[in-house]
Structure 1
Amino acid sequence: MSSLNRISKNVIIVGDLNVKHPNWGCTSMHHKGRLLVEWLENSDKYAIQNHGMKISLRSDTTIDLVLTTPTISLSHCGTLSYTELNNVLSTQQSGSIPHLSTLTRVNHLMEQLTQSLRHNSLSVVVYIDFLQAFDMLWHPGLILKLQHLHCPYAYLFWIVNYFQDRITTIDYQGHLSDQIVITRGAPQGSCFEPKVYIVNLFDLPQIFEYTRKVHLYVDDLALLYSPSIYLEYIKQTDEIQTRINNDMVKLEQYADNNHQPVNKNKMEFVVYH
């Protein structure tokens, strides 16, 4: 919040703040809620309970807040609209994007596969899954990518603050663990979680040889391989094998650079003929 104040003295924050306090109709209070109330009491800002906007998919109470000054000068931290207005998201991605769905991506893949089989004796699709995708989100890498995308600093400061000082406690049959500092992952339960994850993968399709045959739905990846119609069958299989091997090397390098490992146990290699 101090970072936001350096950008604008009059700030509106609407998002998954994940703060609980009786002042906002919550049945309980936790550490963040207490700190936020103390911060508000010592600042010139006040809290307005926001009943007209539901952002969290998990809770109706943890995010219903607008923080503002009496004279409003909007510094809107709308990362969702930023990604849409600036064409940040890849056209190969259909997850968590308005008017697109799983069916959109499946239909596109099936159309390409059908066209390929009209002219070839076989086609191959490699299905790939990332290991604990949302939980493995690497925060420094995400911030660096957003900087390269010229994301406004107001948004960057908001996101950095959003990820900072996150802790969790495990409750097992009434026994509480020590507090665990969370340094990776996207906070679960809000619409921000899938959006920030797909933004983090915006550059993934570009590492492959044929980007138009890359299909993404959030963290699920499918790669279609169609051989050249001018080659004999044995040479077609050799060509596909070479292309797959090259792409897998690139994918492994990408996964290492982004600290996002591939779940090799869930990878599938399917031959259609």
Structure 2
Amino acid sequence: MNEPSIMAVCVIIEDHLFIVGSIYSPPTESLPLTTMTTLLNESRNLILAGDFNAKHMDWKCPQVNTKGRLLSTRLNKNNLNVLNSRTKASLRSDTAIDLIISGEIPETSESQCLPYAGSDCLPILTKFFNLNISMDKHFVPRTYWKLYSSILSILYDQLQAEQEILQMISNNSFPWFLMFEQFLAALKLGVTIWKEVKRKRPSISPSI
């Protein structure tokens, strides 16, 4: 989507595709309505969480602004709901701009604020009761750090020589450091495997 303040992932639950997105809309910028429509077109099972800076009485905000009116109209048009309208997260005012938006109805979900974590807004936990899933296995990464260190030790002289050559040629080490950063990431990926771990536990509700 090429939007620096938006991130979305696809999640499959019981053969149904869900789009889970995080959005930050700065106060001085327009709402990303086009992107929101794109996500909704991918799946009607949409869950959006974020700071929209949109104020409206529909989600118990004592103030109304232009972004709030636009968002309220868009939500009503697409049968989307704000699930945490009764959850006050801001520590600075009574405005409600941190929203959890979904096609689910508020009665099938529960939102609550988590303890203070250093921000001017409290984290919000939302449980979706209709999305109960049972998990008996999960995958955890295992990185072989000794192998990682051994490979770096073997390549140390070569990497240092390349840095010195590039420094003499261009007097600019930034391209080398960028390459080295990419090399470290690729090396870690190469010495990491994902192991399946089976376990039994009761059904849980996915949370935002």
TM superposition score normalised by structure 2: 0.32
Instruction: Return the structure number with greater relative CO, CA threshold 8 A, min gap 6.
Output: 1
Higher strand share: 2
